[in-house]
Homo-oligomer: A and B are copies of this chain.
């Protein structure tokens, strides 16, 4: 009798894991969810997957690569969050109202994500790597657009509906995103940290009005 099962790390019967990459990524996502990007520890991920530390290197070039993967799925989640908010906007008949609602959907989706999935939000944006012009499918929502592109599309709707003058359309996403991203930061790490959800909602309302009006 050949003692094949020499020392298979408890909890597994086969030498091969099956789909370790996914297991590692999920573990890493959980870690990020619980403690943000700094909590994404390669060794801990392998531990949770029931595998030796070095096994990770067969699926991710290094720690950074793992973090980038987490970031990608975080962005995809954000995109879906925004898409959900957009559903209602699309139902609105009047194009002008619908477009405006779409823009606000981006804002509210963004903020909901920042508040509801703070760890993932941090992981998504603490890594240095531009989002625009990045068509990585891993970063997209169900519509095939990443968060930045969703914002762009909302702004496009607005120009088409005549709400946003064509002359002010170019690069408008940067202005809108600045406002929303900045507020997300203030809420999770800044002075609005202690504010009540009600206050935050109210401020977000005002912020989006400012954007609409000032754009």
Residues of A within 8 A of B (CB): 125-133, 148, 171, 174-175, 177-183, 185-186, 188-194, 203, 206-207, 209-215
Contact = CB atoms under 8 A, between A and B. Distances in A.
Given A210-B214, A214-B211, A130 B191 contact: yes
Which secondary structure characterizes the binding site on chain A?
Answer: helix
B175 A181 contact: no
Given A181-B185, A182-B179, A191 B203 contact: no
A172 to B, nearest CB: 9
B215 A210 contact: yes
Contacts of A174: 183, 186, 191-192, 203, 207
Contacts of A191: 130-133, 148, 174
A131 B179 CA distance: 18
Contacts of A210: 175, 179, 210-211, 214-215
Most chain B CB within a 10 A radius of its CB, from A126, A182, A188: A182
A209 B179 CA distance: 13
Contact of A177 (B130, B171, B182, B209): B182
7 shortest interchain CB distances as A-B pairs? A214-B214, A182-B182, A210-B214, A178-B182, A132-B191, A178-B183, A213-B214
A117 to B, nearest CB: 16
Given A191-B133, A214-B214, A181 B186 contact: yes
Given A131-B191, A177-B190, 17 more contacts: A128-B193, A129-B189, A130-B190, A131-B190, A174-B203, A174-B207, A175-B203, A178-B181, A178-B207, A181-B182, A181-B185, A182-B183, A182-B185, A185-B185, A210-B214, A212-B214, A213-B214
A133 B181 CA distance: 22
